[in-house]
Structure 1
Amino acid sequence: MSRLSYSAVIATRNRPEALALSLPLILGQSRAPAQMIVVDSSPDTEANRAIITSAEAAFGRTVTYIISPPSSSVQRNIGLAEVTEPVVLFPDDDSLLHPGVMEEIMATYERDEGGLIGGVCAAEADTAPEGALASARYEMTLGDRIRKPVAATRFRLERALVPEPFLRAGRRLARNHPRPDWIDGERHVEVEFMTGFRMSFRTELIRRHGFDETLGRYALFEDTDASFKILKSHLLVGARRAQIYHYKAPAKRDGGFSMGAMQILNRAYVLAQDAERDAAMRRQLRRFSRYKIAQYGAAATSGAQFAKDRLRGARAAMNHVDVLMGCPSDAVSGTYLAARRALGLDP
């Protein structure tokens, strides 16, 4: 069994308080990255430069620091272009790695002697690593703190009553590949797609596709799109003993209207690009989109402007779902960009 090395790429913007927590936990792994890359799109880079200098001194490591235009997809692609190792980890700047995470993830790749696995993700931890928040200079919002413990229950209910169409798409893509017998459902599980704050890939595979810059500055569901592109040729696996805590930074990345519109529009775009667009998939997408709008409608009764704008954006984006799902494959990207323009979303 050959021992592999990995690179880690963090895309960050205006969140030095988060980077100050996450970067040392990556560099301090018992199996540390052979290459650490930070791609920063902050208008003022002074705080992040100071954090990186401090981390380099503390761990005796060099961190490659790159200034980039804003867009998580653009930033990840810029970092990916610099990667030298056979595996690449893409944590968010607010991903807090528990000890031993990378031992588990890399052991999974090393066990895959047949080369069937294209990506490995960690499990989402319920708590932060011990002592990790002692120096924290921010707190998660009350809403995020409430949602985190109920997320698993909500996910189970949604899966039973209003399934996320990404799950269907991922299962359909994965069914075409052989499954290693060591994926036992306990230490390792197959996954339909990977969430951005805890994903890794074989470098040669993710380089073939990169991250879709068409998705705009916030790039919602770029992680799902990348997962599906890998699933067309390889399996995705979750390493359940690898734990990453998502200590979400409180700042909103975009306005309410944009966030609501992208939840509906970007999901349709990713499915139109990567999934079988049969009648069953279209029905499931429409049903799930209506469910999200109902969720946003309930939240909007609070009177909060963000919630009201999010509902308005989601409703406006529904007008474009059927068009996207019905257009020819070679017109999906152009149709999506036209919809973004019509909705007034960023280029």
Structure 2
Amino acid sequence: MYCTLIICTFKRAGSLSNLLHSIAQQTLYPDEILVVDGSPDDETEKMIRANDFKNLTYFSVPPHLRGLTRQRNFGIDNISAKAQIVAFLDDDTVLMPDYFEQMNRTFEMHPDVSGVGGIALNENAWEEAPEGKIYNSKKFYCFDGHVYKESQRNVVRNYLGLASNLGPGKMPLFSHGRTCGFPITGRVYDADLLIGMSFAFRSEVVRAIRFSPYFEGYGLYEDADFSIRALRFGRNVIDTRLQLRHFHHPSGRPNHYRYGRMVVRNGYYVWRVRNPKPSFKARIKWHLITLLLAAIRLSNVLSGPEREAALKESAGRFAAWIQLTYNRPQRND
């Protein structure tokens, strides 16, 4: 299947170089690579010109087209008419050698699948569960013969009866799903939400829905929004054989207060895309969990290693929650 890869980047020439060299080692090479660069300097362009990456087209976009959402849509506007699969990767990832071969195989074997996501090996905290061992369900989550140690916030949610009632990758009616990902079993799992560091869709999906302008700028949860809207074309799945490593580069991220605001405000937006008319019970749960998570983040001021960051982020969360009483985000797609 003809595969177009879109990589959006901003002042990360070194990280992008590592990714492109891992693509060069692929057992199945993409038919088209579009690098959409929002950098104000020419370091990324110099790096690309110093190498000979096959099938690569480089675009440097002007300031009004910078930002992940705008750059992704710019890439979509420039894909080949022959594209059957459109893949997206974060510029700070490195792929396993069979990444694109496995992606192609998954789409071919599952004609009802519209979107496929991968697994970051260095972020996967699942372990095989010894047969017969019993775990405290409030502190550990068991799934498909594997076990995951719950984070502090999920332990609290478990004890308060506010945990998700669905499996990994699924969004419950009150949002706030499980963030544990999937164990590496070699299987394919259905999911509502795919992660933007590593996902791909059939070309008819990206041509039809594009990325929402609501998330222009630093688009936290833009991948969740796109994944949810893609479900009307078919299934979304996580293929645990689709593997890479993700090295979160610190540049290009917003300040902690703004990030906290986006966690709440963008989270509300995505919840209402998935569940436009939530029940009273779902509404209460969403708000309770939102306040609980903000309070837990605030508690990190007393015990966490980055106390100033925790204070600013929690302030942003509480401010955004209060703002929802008189200014709720509206769909813009």
Give the TM-score normalised by structure 1.
0.75
- For residues 69-218 of structure 1, the aligned pairs below 5 Å read 69-84=65-80, 85-112=83-110, 115-126=111-122, 153-154=149-150, 158=154, 161=158, 162-163=162-163, 170=171, 186-218=186-218
Cα deviations by residue, 1:179-200 (Å, 9 ceiling, x for unpaired): xxxxxx8521111210110111
SS of the residue 1:284 aligns to: helix
Distance 2:11 2:201 in 1: 26
Please, which of 291, 303, 308 is the counterpart of residue 305 of structure 1?
308
Structure 2 counterpart of 1:308, one-letter code:
L
Tell me if 1:64 matches 2:62: no
Tell me if 1:332 matches 2:307: no
Checking the alignment, whether the CA contact within 8 Å between 1:116 and 1:234 is kept in structure 2 is yes
Structure 1 counterpart of 2:31, one-letter code:
A
The structure-2 alpha-carbon separation of the partners of 1:291 and 1:228, relative to structure 1 and needing over 3 Å to count, comes to same
Distance 1:231 1:118 in 2: 7
Cα deviations by residue, 1:279-321 (Å, 9 ceiling, x for unpaired): 2432332132123202320222357433221111100011144
Pick which of 84-93 and 18-27 moved more. 18-27
Distance 1:86 1:23 in 2: 21
Checking the alignment, whether the CA contact within 8 Å between 1:264 and 1:318 is kept in structure 2 is yes
The structure-2 alpha-carbon separation of the partners of 1:60 and 1:248, relative to structure 1 and needing over 3 Å to count, comes to same
Please state which structure has a larger fraction of its residues in strand: 2
Structure 2 counterpart of 1:106, one-letter code:
N
How far is 1:16 from its partner?
A: 1.6
Equivalent residue for 1:337? none
SS of the residue 1:263 aligns to: helix
* Structure 1 unaligned residues grouped into runs of 5+: 129-150, 173-184, 335-347
Tell me if 1:15 matches 2:12: yes
Distance 1:52 1:284 in 2: 49
The structure-2 alpha-carbon separation of the partners of 1:252 and 1:79, relative to structure 1 and needing over 3 Å to count, comes to closer
Equivalent residue for 2:283? 282
SS of the residue 1:43 aligns to: coil
Cα deviations by residue, 1:239-278 (Å, 9 ceiling, x for unpaired): 1111111111123611111000000110001112232422
Distance 1:282 1:27 in 2: 48
Please, which of 36, 42, 47 is the counterpart of residue 39 of structure 1?
36
Equivalent residue for 2:182? none
Equivalent residue for 1:52? 48
Checking the alignment, whether the CA contact within 8 Å between 2:228 and 2:273 is kept in structure 1 is no
How far is 1:123 from its partner?
A: 1.4
Distance 1:192 1:155 in 2: 22
Structure 2 counterpart of 1:11, one-letter code:
C
The count of residues paired between Structure 1 and Structure 2 equals 287
Distance 2:115 2:256 in 1: 32
SS of the residue 2:50 aligns to: helix
Structure 2 counterpart of 1:240, one-letter code:
T
Equivalent residue for 2:233? 233
Please state which structure has a larger fraction of its residues in helix: 1
SS of the residue 2:73 aligns to: helix
Distance 1:35 1:156 in 2: 43
The structure-2 alpha-carbon separation of the partners of 1:309 and 1:188, relative to structure 1 and needing over 3 Å to count, comes to same
The structure-2 alpha-carbon separation of the partners of 1:49 and 1:252, relative to structure 1 and needing over 3 Å to count, comes to closer
How far is 1:153 from its partner?
A: 2.7
Equivalent residue for 1:137? none
The structure-2 alpha-carbon separation of the partners of 1:308 and 1:209, relative to structure 1 and needing over 3 Å to count, comes to same
SS of the residue 1:240 aligns to: strand
Structure 1 counterpart of 2:73, one-letter code:
N
Distance 1:168 1:62 in 2: 32
How far is 1:19 from its partner?
A: 0.9
How far is 1:221 from its partner?
A: 0.3
The structure-2 alpha-carbon separation of the partners of 1:192 and 1:25, relative to structure 1 and needing over 3 Å to count, comes to same
How far is 1:34 from its partner?
A: 0.5
Checking the alignment, whether the CA contact within 8 Å between 1:165 and 1:288 is kept in structure 2 is no
Structure 2 counterpart of 1:253, one-letter code:
R
Distance 1:168 1:97 in 2: 22
Structure 1 counterpart of 2:195, one-letter code:
T
Distance 2:216 2:151 in 1: 27
Checking the alignment, whether the CA contact within 8 Å between 1:165 and 1:285 is kept in structure 2 is no
How far is 1:171 from its partner?
A: 6.3
Equivalent residue for 1:315? 318
Pick which of 285-294 and 264-273 moved more. 285-294
